Amino acid sequence: MDINIFIERRKSLKISQVKLCKDICTQSTLSKFENNGRIPSLTILSKLCERLGLSVDDLYRNSIATTTHMKSLLNKTESELMMENYSNTFKGLSEINADEIHNNALKMQYYYQRGLYEALTNGKLENAFYCFARILNDLDEKHQTIYTHLSYVGLGVFYFRLGMIDEASFFFEKVWNYIDLHKDETYQKNGINVYLRILTIIFYTAEFYIKNKKYDKSNELVSRGIKLCSEQHITYYLPRLKLLSAEIAINEKRPHKEIEELLNESLAFAKINHSATVEDRINSLFEKYKKESGFKK
């Protein structure tokens, strides 16, 4: 961090320390920052910078970890995670140093990705817990952002994979209540990533309820997910959502024709998205279904 950028801006605007820190922090805090390099909390520093017409990132202008650069890296990694390209996700996360992220929203984006990656790949429990704890107990301690609910999803996935169903249900019920509370929202804000994160929440929650034979809830979630994909022209999750629809239909013993159509639709979308892993799942489910039901295509 180049503190001189901060000091030079304050002096060029002829703003005293007393005036600058009014209603933000004590003069002592500001003085320790300017004279001794003792960095205040991100909240205080952000407000001080804003009053000078700066951003915290401006103090790191010589670093590659600018907000724009970091956002680009995180968005790319998030896309890989959502497409289940875990090797690319790992590579992307390995290139990011959390200490170089100086924006709370981007920090939460990083920790949710890292935690969910650990959960989905059967990684270390302590690593996942640390990431989600950073969000739930620090960065979003009032639980006001979508990252809290993405953390609940990650914890639910991890507990389920450990066979701890009651613990998993606790977190997925929190997510279900969040989804149910916001079911009438259109989410017309913050760009495409908002829709993708909502679809992430919907997909893994629906998958959990299918495995626990709660088909009413899972069917409602899948329907909402498919509707959102259609409205926003998003294909990332369509193959997997259609596959979940087929799983529900099979478990509810619906007509063969309906099940076959759902599996074929899922396969078509998987090919469009070049999702070889999803294609394998669909073909595996189709073969299992034909074997167990006696259905011949």
Whether residue 6 contacts residue 54, with contact meaning beta carbons closer than 8 Å, is answered with yes
Q: What is the pLDDT of residue 184?
A: 58
- Contacts of residue 73, Cβ cutoff 8 Å, sequence gap at least 6: 92, 95, 96
Reply yes or no on whether the pLDDT at 52 is more than 60: yes
> Is 140 in contact with 147 (CB distance < 8 Å)?
yes
Res 61: pLDDT: 67
User: For 3-60, CATH number?
Assistant: 1.10.260.40
Domain-by-domain residue ranges, the chain?
A: 3-60, 67-233
C-alpha Rg value of the chain to the nearest Å: 23
The CATH number of domain 67-233 is 3.10.450.50: no
pTM of the model: 0.76
Residue 4 has pLDDT above 80, yes or no: yes
The string of pLDDT tens digits covering residues 266-292 is: 999 999 888 888 999 999 999 999 888
* Mean pLDDT across 142-150: 93
DSSP letter string, 67-128: HHHHHHHHHHHHHHHHTT-HHHHHHHHHT--GGG---HHHHHHHHHHHHHHHHHTT--HHHH
Structure tokens at 120: 């989905």
Quick: pLDDT tens for 162-218.
999 999 999 999 999 998 877 655 554 555 678 889 999 999 999 999 999 999 999
